[in-house]
Structure 1
Amino acid sequence: MRHLLKVTLLAIILSTSVSTFAQTLKFGHIDSNKLLSIMPEKEEAQKQIQAAAAEYDTQIKAMREEAQTLISSYLEQKDALAEAVRADKEKEIQNLQTRMQEFDGFAQQALQKKQNELLKPIFDKASAAIKAVGAENGFTYVFDISTGVILFNSNNSVDIMPLVKTKLGIQ
């Protein structure tokens, strides 16, 4: 009998503390992709990335034109060339193609590095603002709904986008 009384008391205490705990939770959500897309810094970073990409594209186009010219010239003269000269021209074409592939890989890496360099501070700024808004407004959790992982979003969850935009000084 005493054991039953202890178990009942423990159950009452646990259910009371769980319901008290559940009442103090405050949830928020934000679409971080949408936030990042409206940040003015992101637009400037995108312009710089596009400018760098255009520069690399210009270089690659010039290399392609050089290759086309070299290949056309080789094909026109192929039958009239001596074996050693033909082998030298073929090697020159292969070297140019190798250089093009290497440059393309370099350009991709350089663009990725520049993108990371320019966008990381923007992501960090957005993250800091979200954390600050969460702390200032007493949110227990803030969920990012842009990831597509949130299966349910109730009316009790607050969209903190307006608060974060204010924090960042965005209209």
Structure 2
Amino acid sequence: MRGPLFGFTLLLATALAPSLHGQTVKIGWIDSNSVLSQYSGAQEARQQMEQSLASYQAEIEQMNNDFQSAMASFQQQQATMTAEARQNRQEELQSQQRVLQQRVAELEQQASTRQAEVFQPVMTEINAVIETIRVEGNYAMILDVASQAILSADPALDLTQEVLRRLQEAAPDSDGSR
């Protein structure tokens, strides 16, 4: 536990050491989890993702139900099947299971791609606001407590609400105007 945190602290101290001669280093922090949960743009992106995931989940459930029904039917009928018919049906079921697994993998990839598409503009907007605050406030850096690299911080250095305020100001109103 001490290793990575100690290493990060040492790296931070080393990086900031030249700046400490004659000037104060200003560091702020945000809680990105709070920003993502409270910012309306992120909430809209999350709703879009939930809709996409619901359609993916419905397709997977339907395919899984079809497979389970076919498997149950086979298990009930296998005692009365010839060895050749049983072998053919098992191969069909294995093929159906492979198709299901491939489709699940495809949908997981689509979900990952969709998440990147939906959240990339939101993250770009959030990062732009954070960078603007950093420059305007002369912060050497702004850290994220959600990364768990910060063990203790002065609440006065918390810029989360400022980030949220600026994001909401920049967001279009519900009628599409700013």
- Aligned match of 1:115: 115
Q: TM-score, normalised by structure 1?
A: 0.78
> What displacement does 1:19 show?
5.2
The count of residues paired between Structure 1 and Structure 2 equals: 152
User: Counterpart of 1:63 in structure 2: which amino acid?
Assistant: M
Distance in 2 of aligned mates of 1:100 and 1:77: 22
Distance in 1 of aligned mates of 2:150 and 2:107: 37
Question: Is 1:30 matched with 2:30?
Answer: yes
Instruction: Report the identity percentage.
Output: 24
Larger Rg: 1
- Aligned match of 1:165: 164
Is the CA contact 2:49–2:115 (under 8 Å) kept in the aligned structure 1? yes
Q: How does 1:47-86 map to 2 (within 5 A)?
A: 47-86=47-86
Change beyond 3 A, Cα 1:58–1:98: same
Is the CA contact 1:26–1:141 (under 8 Å) kept in the aligned structure 2? yes
Is the CA contact 2:38–2:164 (under 8 Å) kept in the aligned structure 1? no
Is the CA contact 2:70–2:93 (under 8 Å) kept in the aligned structure 1? yes
Mark the runs of 5 or more structure 2 residues left unpaired by the alignment.
1-18, 172-178
**RMSD of equivalent CA atoms:** 2.3
Change beyond 3 A, Cα 1:81–1:168: same
Distance in 2 of aligned mates of 1:59 and 1:154: 49
Mark the runs of 5 or more structure 1 residues left unpaired by the alignment.
1-16
> What displacement does 1:81 show?
2.1
- Aligned match of 1:11: none
Distance in 2 of aligned mates of 1:18 and 1:40: 39
Change beyond 3 A, Cα 1:146–1:107: same
Q: TM-score, normalised by structure 2?
A: 0.75
- For residues 13-39 of structure 1, the C-alpha deviation after alignment (integer angstroms, 9 at most, x for no partner) is xxxx955223xx222221122112211
Question: Is 1:138 matched with 2:115?
Answer: no
Is the CA contact 1:133–1:167 (under 8 Å) kept in the aligned structure 2? no
**Runs in 1 of length 4+ with deviation above 4 angstroms?**
none
> What displacement does 1:114 show?
0.8
Change beyond 3 A, Cα 1:119–1:75: same
